[in-house]
Amino acid sequence: MKLYFLALLLFFASQCFAQVENKTYYDKNGRFPKSTDSIYYIQIIGPDSASNLFNVQQFYKNGHPKLIGKSTSLKSKVFEGNVIEYYNNAKRKSITNYKDGGKSGSYYEYFPSGKLYIHKEYTPKKNLSDSLNFTVQNVNDTTGVATVVDGNGIYNIYDENFSHITESGPIKNGKRNGEWRGAYKERGITFIEAYADGELISGEAIFMGQRSSYKKRFILPVFPGGDVAFGRFLGTHMRYPMIDLQNKVQGRVLLTFIIEKDGKVTNLEVLNSLSPTTDKEAIKILTASSPWVNAVEFGFPAKVQYTMPIDFSMVTE
């Protein structure tokens, strides 16, 4: 199997029309693998001979396609046009249309069986925090029976394995309306929420016998004092490693870490390395930071994974 996978990688790499390409390996969590055994899929971004875009191809370890699309960037995924994703069984998972890197127009998602699950229509986001930039047009259950037609009906949302329904409620004119109920069994949370024209009006949740009320389902963690205070903290505490100054090394270290329920930063890892010394400095800075204001989900303190870039730049007069 390993020899077969290697042969497939060599074949797909040989299909690029130019020598310039960006090839990256990922584990199941979308991170850089720590060993060859943890490789889950490979991503290849290379020039498209028919346009000024770049072909994006992802393949599972068994050789089946994971994603096929086009990007405006060679180094990262800034999708443009249709992007098709696939399940590991080679069945189509979704078709998404992108414009300028954001979802736009029709979106189709499928059950692992290949049957159509949902059809949404996206409009461009007005700002990064805008989460209501789509309407639900049609939804089917696992047997193919329609539960939402032309934006009206009952929308059942499944877990990622489609083994059970996690939340359900009415859709009117493509948006949530009325009472929604849900249960995330693996996290022990049950909830009831009220919506009007897609907006959450109120929610009540039960977790480990405790009740909470909320008007926003999820609140992101934040450094005490916000982004401005975090910028001051970096400016005060960060030291540019001398060896990197001498070698004129500058760029970005990308870190991932856990913000615990009490706001403490733990489990720091480097996703994108700049140099061993800048990586070490970036980790040291985050480790020394004050506890953050924790995330809140369903009205309860939440533990979340966070990703943050730390820039090292030599400013010249």
- Any domain includes 243: yes
Average pLDDT over residues 78-82: 94
| Residue 6: band (very low, low, confident or very high) from pLDDT cuts 50, 70, 90 | very low
Task: Judge whether residue 130 has pLDDT over 60.
Answer: no
In 3D, which of 245, 255, 256 has the Cα closest to residue 312?
245
Q: Is residue 147 part of a domain?
A: no
d(CA 61, CA 41): 5
- How many structural domains comprise the chain? 1
Q: Contact 295/214 with Cβ under 8 angstroms?
A: no
> What residues contact residue 184 under an 8 Å CB cut-off, 6+ apart?
166, 190
Residue 1 lies in a domain: no
Q: What is the mean pLDDT of residues 306-317?
A: 80
User: What is the arithmetic mean of pLDDT over 139-151?
Assistant: 96
Q: Could you give the C-alpha distances from 139 to 12, 72, 161, 251, in angstroms and in order?
A: 36, 32, 17, 45
Q: What is the mean pLDDT of residues 208-214?
A: 96
- Tell whether 279 is covered by a domain: yes
Residue 301, strand partner residues: 296
- Give pLDDT tens digits for 295-304: 999 999 999 9
Q: Tell me what pLDDT residue 126 has.
A: 65
What is the structure's pLDDT at 316? Answer: 52
Average pLDDT over residues 38-63: 93
| Residue 295 structure tokens | 């995330």
- CB neighbour burial string for 83-116, b if at least 16 within 10 angstroms, e if fewer: bebbbeeeebbbebbbeeeebbeebbbbbeeeee
Q: Which of 25-34, 38-47, 156-165, 229-238 has the lowest mean pLDDT?
A: 25-34
- Two structure tokens written together for 164: 């059970």
- The answer to whether the beta carbons of residues 178 and 195 sit under 8 Å apart is yes
Cα 235 to chain centroid, rounded:
29
The answer to whether residue 267 is domain-embedded is yes
Structure tokens at 88: 């590991």
Candidates 61, 60, 46, 36; CA nearest to 16 is 46
Whether the predicted pLDDT of 122 surpasses 60? yes
- In the predicted structure, residue 272 carries a pLDDT above the cut 90: no
Q: What is the pLDDT of residues 8-43, one digit of tens each?
A: 444 444 444 444 678 889 888 787 787 888 899 999
Q: Check residue 79 and give its pLDDT.
A: 94
Q: Indicate whether 271 belongs to any domain.
A: yes
- Report if residue 260 sits inside a domain: yes
The domain of 235 spans: 226-312
Q: What is the pLDDT of residue 16?
A: 41
Structure tokens at 112: 């692992």
Looking at the domain assignment, is residue 307 inside a domain? yes
Of 180 and 288, more confident: 180
Mean pLDDT (the chain, rounded): 89
pTM, whole model, 2 decimals?
Answer: 0.80
CATH number of the domain enclosing 278: 3.30.1150.10
Label each residue of the chain as H, E or C.
Answer: CHHHHHHHHHHHHHCCCCCCCEEEEECCCCCCCCCHHHCCEEEEEEECCCCCCEEEEEEECCCCEEEEEEECCCCCCCECEEEEEECCCCCEEEEEEEECCEEEEEEEEECCCCCEEEEEEECCCCCCCCCCCEEEEEEECCCCCEEEECCEEEEEEECCCCCCEEEEEEEECCEECEEEEEEEHHHCEEEEEEEECCEEEEEEEEECCEEEEECCCEECCECCCHHHHHHHHHHHHCCCCHHHHHCCCCEEEEEEEEECCCCCEEEEEEEECCCHHHHHHHHHHHHHCCCCECEEECCEEECEEEEEEEEECCCCC
For 194: left if phi > 0, alpha if psi spans -120 to 50, otherwise beta; the answer is beta
